[in-house]
Structure 1
Amino acid sequence: MNPRLAATYVLYDVIVTGRSLSLTLNEQLANIDNPADKGLCQEIIYGTLRHYASLQQSLRPWLKKPIPAKNKALEIILCTALYQLIVLKLPNYAVINESVAIVKPIGFAWAGGFINAVLRAASRSKQLALKSNKDHDHPPWLATCIKAAYPKHAEAIFAANHHPARVMLRVRPPLSRDDYLQQLHAQNIAAEAHIDNKDAIVLNQSVNIATLPGFADGQVTVQDANAQLATNLLAVKPAMRVLDACAAPGGKTAHIFDKDHDLQIIAVDESAERVATMQNTLTRLQVQAEVKTAKLENLADWYDGAAFDRILLDAPCSATGVIRKHPDILFHRRAAD
């Protein structure tokens, strides 16, 4: 699939439909074969989400009137094009031609001339730039909260939220971290050992995770170093019965299993979509766990009455501390949350 078309589908899902970025992104990336195209698709998506308000503001001078809500997909295409022109500095002709080409597959064949005219005018202007806004591309309510709670550090927080987070890996036993680092370096992949976590590796470059050595057969998995520490605190022992509540997408469930295979693990999550993703992860990692799709409070749907020796509860929260990794939070979180 055309990476720009895939990016448009993902952004529409996130911004308009309200779907999780990770879920819709994985669906679309599965339709792209070329690793470079996968990388471009992800860069366009993440960059556009991080700077959407600024891109909207940068777009306004080239529009005679606002784009109606029913044509939101056209605004998304234009914003992704501006991101490519302003930030990625891709060739004008390529960005414009590709942007015009994707309007037909999404049902807006009539809009090709409109997209072409807007982008040609913008690309020729010396005034084309990413317009800053007072809320730093955050929802106004969230920007206000951050400024009130951290008046001395608000600017640094805004900047950090827009800075891409480095991907972290967990090396699974019996493979050692040092041995896996050697595999990465042999393929000229820049990576280093995490300073505080003996199993964690930090990737220092953008890569297609699926092509990492040993990823497909479960030797390594993506997991933040802090998330790895949470599992260590459980101190599980053989034959224990362990509950992973709010378990999706399954990283902690797999980590619990790796601590000791002689465990009875029950993993519960209420989202059917996220559970499906978790099942795929656990299958790839060959993890044995009893997976339940249910709300935790609805005990009759998943609980058999037997006691647990350990419970790991990674409870839902505002998630505003992980915006740099999940920029869709900027669109989905509400002040009432």
Structure 2
Amino acid sequence: MAIRTDFAEGAFAPSHRADVAEALASQSGARIDVNRRRGRAAALNMAGRFETLERARTDDGWDIPEELPPFKTEVQVEKPRTALTRNESPDIPFDRSINPYRGCEHGCIYCFARPTHSYMGLSAGLDFEAKLFAKPDIAKLLERELSKPGYKPRPIAIGTNTDPYQPIEKEWRIMRQVLEVLEAAHHPVTIVTKSALVTRDIDILSRMAKDGLAKVALSVTTLDRSLARAMEPRAATPAKRLEAIKELSEAGIPVGAMMAPIIPGLTDHEIERVLDSVKAAGAREANYVILRLPFEVSPLFRDWLLRNYPDRYRHVMSLVRSMRDGKDYDAEFGKRMKGAGPYAWQIHRRFQMACKRLGLDQQRLPLRDDLFVPPLGAGVQLSLL
């Protein structure tokens, strides 16, 4: 049964809200009890899009209490064959990246990487936040790949899929191992994160920055702590992210800010305030991405919006669809990052004007790739010369 989501005026009277949310949940998978998902953004754990079966809880008539354990963070080891992920997307300014982890404990409800958990036979919902994969061998793989004859260095982007400084990094320290390999090879790197944990590695990053080999961007989506807690439950608070920008800047590390994503009707009114704040903290440049809702992210986000901001649901989704050709998402290159249409243009102009006023629109700082020295002794055949 299709569930209508473009509701008429008055549809959000209290008596209707629970019914609407429950109907949407039944379309996308059973909602998980609040006590089992406490501290998580997603309330659904529907089957991935590649699964042939989907399970849903139903009342079988037996009045037997069912005590299910809460969702706890579980980490499995993944052994990839390569460290570098290549892409040829024309609207992405990098051609290679590293993902030390799969899944993300930050649990940002809007995360466009959620659907990647479907490739593991897991849900893009709560599984993405709680069932994580660590790649402890990735630094060794990276060293081997950098050692290959003919390798040509270009900046490696880290944090473009899931956050390399999510909470489990405190224990696994995979990101630090990757940085140690890159520093030894004098290889350029760019990092995007929502975590203040990045300041742990200021020692490495500051040395690399002196040679023009590193820069960092903190993603600041909102200054509203309550909204951030609901939307990005296990990421650093907005204040901590601003402090991280300041610490990185004072250490001589080029630091920028990302407002990623901007959610129309929910966070777009903060554009100027966010940019003022990151500039005051020491950011040199800024960029943004419009909310993206591919595959399973759409029902997850819509369910979250109904639970947390039911009075804004209709307005937010109307604006989203106005920028996506009437759909929840449009993956067309050139449109997927910034959207299209009058409202997308208005956001772009506001962001552009604020950056110009603050001096955040200067030329992007290029990173050097002429200092690269291939690692030795990484299991690669050495030359006899």
* TM-score, normalisation: structure 1: 0.28
Query: In proportion to residue count, which structure has more helix?
Result: 1
Query: When the two structures are superposed, what TM-score results if normalisation uses the length of structure 2?
Result: 0.26
